Amino acid sequence: MRGHPTLATVAATAALLACASCSGTSEPAPGAHSSSTATTRTTTAPAGPLTLTRGPGFDRTGAFTPLMTCDDPRDYSPALNFTNVPTGTRELALTMVDLDIHKIHWLQLGIRPSAPGIGAHHLLPGAREALNDFGEASYDGPCPPHGSTHRYQLTLYALHEPMPASFDGSTPPARTLQEIKRRAFASAVLVVPYTRH
């Protein structure tokens, strides 16, 4: 009868549908593809924002100890930890500025992006220190007047391109800091106090 498929037509259609469903050349479902991509991103991207934290050696309140300051002849630079360095970082830079008198105490360049941090009084291979406001290409620890407390801002910068080798122990510190900020696309801040007795 017209308008109703024959038994042979129904059987042929069912066979074609079964074949299509087992074909190895079909594309994965859009949802499955997105899920796979999301998993890949999760394993390669940082878990959160760039972070700078204290390493060993600070006192129990989180302040500098005299060993890290002008009150000790060793004047050790602090140990610091880096986490969640962004994808695309070509180089890390580290600075320390006295927030109360706006003096640059430390400029460290050329830190590799894979570094998990730095040890106390330690310069990683490939890293270098640039001229600070005290006329030295090194770390100069906190040195507020006796009886006062100053706050020191340590900043870790993720740079999209490395700092040129021309930024060294002879470049004015303000210029070096300005260039670091110009090349940075992410940063993390840690403010540490020091009271000089």
The torsion angle over the Cα atoms of residues 133, 99, 187 and 76, rounded to 10 degrees, is 60
Q: How confident is the model at residue 114 (pLDDT cuts 50, 70, 90)?
A: very high
Query: How many CB atoms lie under 10 A from the CB of residue 75?
Result: 18
Mean pLDDT of the chain: 84
Cβ atoms 105, 123 nearer than 8 A = no
Among left, alpha and beta (phi > 0; psi -120 to 50; other), residue 125 is: beta
**Predicted pLDDT at 20:** 40
- Give the pLDDT confidence of 16-55 residue by residue, as tens digits: 344 344 333 333 344 444 333 333 333 346 778 999 999 9
Query: Which phi and psi angles does 129 have, rounded to 5°?
Result: -110, 135
Average confidence (pLDDT) over 161-184: 97
**Predicted pLDDT at 17:** 40
At 186, which helix (H) or strand (E)?
A: strand 184-195
CA 109 to chain centre: 13
In whole angstroms, give the CA distance from residue 21 to residue 39: 27
Smallest CA-to-CA distance from 194 within 155, 147, 139 is with 147
Q: Which pTM was predicted?
A: 0.77
**Predicted pLDDT at 157:** 98
